[in-house]
Amino acid sequence: GSHGMEPTIVVHGGAWAVPDSLAEASVAGVKAAARDGFAILKIGGSALDAVELAERALEDDLAAFDAGCGAVLNTDGEVELDGKTLAAGAVSSVRNITHPVTLARAVMEKTDHIMLTDRGASQFAESIGITTVPTDALMTESERREWEHYKKYAVGVKELFNSQ
């Protein structure tokens, strides 16, 4: 007989030293995102659908992740988000898109482009019906505080990533 492969999904919650205060929420968030993506695979859905749904779960989880709403602010204190798929769809420097992964997928599937950035990406989002939001809607108070703290100092990678 044939041996079917059990689908698998792996979710990475970010490359930083997770503070003890966020450890439980981080693990729970990664597990929830993996469950969401796995549910798509289990019913025969595409890997791309599964990955997008898992990433959207991380983008929506304000308690533990800085993807989407609650993203780390740039040096000007603004939100700029990137989204990409390895099948050549990407957006960068978007300031008003809650789910950049969905917009990146649309770039891949609906355009001849590999990447759209800033205003062009936002205009494309609006043209295909992806909801845009005010930039402030993507900022959280904790990220504003972090930005205020770090903009005062010349901070190295070591401090930003809590490394030894």
Assess whether 125 and 136 both reside in one domain. yes
Per-residue confidence (pLDDT) for residue 13, from 0 to 100: 87
pLDDT at residue 28, as a whole number: 95
Quote the domain boundaries for residue 160.
Answer: 68-164
Same domain (yes/no): 83, 51? no
Domain boundary among 65, 80, 97: 65
Q: Are residues 51 and 92 in the same domain?
A: no
- Give yes or no: residues 83 and 160 share one domain: yes
Closest by CA position to 66, among listed 22, 31, 110 = 22
Residue with tokens 């903009």: 151
Supply the pLDDT for residue 1.
41
Structure pTM? Answer: 0.62
Q: Check whether 35 has a pLDDT greater than 50.
A: yes
Same domain? For 60 and 132 the reply is no
Q: Which of 35, 65, 95 finishes a domain? A: 65
Q: Does residue 30 share a domain with residue 73?
A: no
| pLDDT recorded at residue 128 | 98
**What is the mean predicted confidence (pLDDT) over 148-159?**
69
Say how many residues make up the chain. Answer: 164
The half-sphere exposure of 24 on its side-chain side, counting CA atoms within 13 A, is 1
The residue ranges of DSSP E strands in 2-159, in sequence order, are 81-85, 89-94, 115-117
Give pLDDT tens digits for 104-131: 999 989 998 889 999 999 999 999 999 9
Same domain for 141 and 163? Answer: yes
Domain count, the chain: 2
